[in-house]
Amino acid sequence: MDRIPEKIDSTFRFVLLAARRAEQLMRGARPRVDAGSPKPTRIALREVSDELINWDYGPPPAPPEAVEATAGEEESAGG
């Protein structure tokens, strides 16, 4: 691991992504790079470093007003 890809904002996120990918590899996922090492953690770190793993932040959180309105509707419907 020489560098963290530009689209990954922190070392912490880099480690989290590699850990999740290593879990996938341990469960039977196929490596996306030539496995020079039999260790899933090394393979995962290399895949993330080479930007072969797609990820995003997910949908933005709902505004607080929408969450409160939804909670109020559920209470009145339940009766």
From residue 17, give the alpha-carbon distance in Å to each of 31, 35, 64: 15, 18, 29
Residue-level pLDDT at 46:
92
pLDDT in tens, 3-39: 788 888 899 999 999 999 999 999 999 999 987 888 9
Give the tens place of pLDDT for each residue, 48-70. 999 999 888 788 888 887 656 66
Per-residue pLDDT, 4: 85
Residue that has been written with the tokens 């932040």 in this structure: 57
Tell me what pLDDT residue 24 has: 95
Q: Give the 3-state secondary structure of residue 43.
A: helix
Positive or negative torsion for Cα 22, 24, 26, 29: negative
Flag whether the pTM goes above 0.75.
Answer: no
Q: Are 43 and 25 in contact (CB under 8 A)?
A: yes
- What is the number of H-type helices and E-type strands within the chain? 3, 0
Structural domains of the chain, with CATH: 11-78 (3.90.940)
* Chain position carrying tokens 């999740």: 20
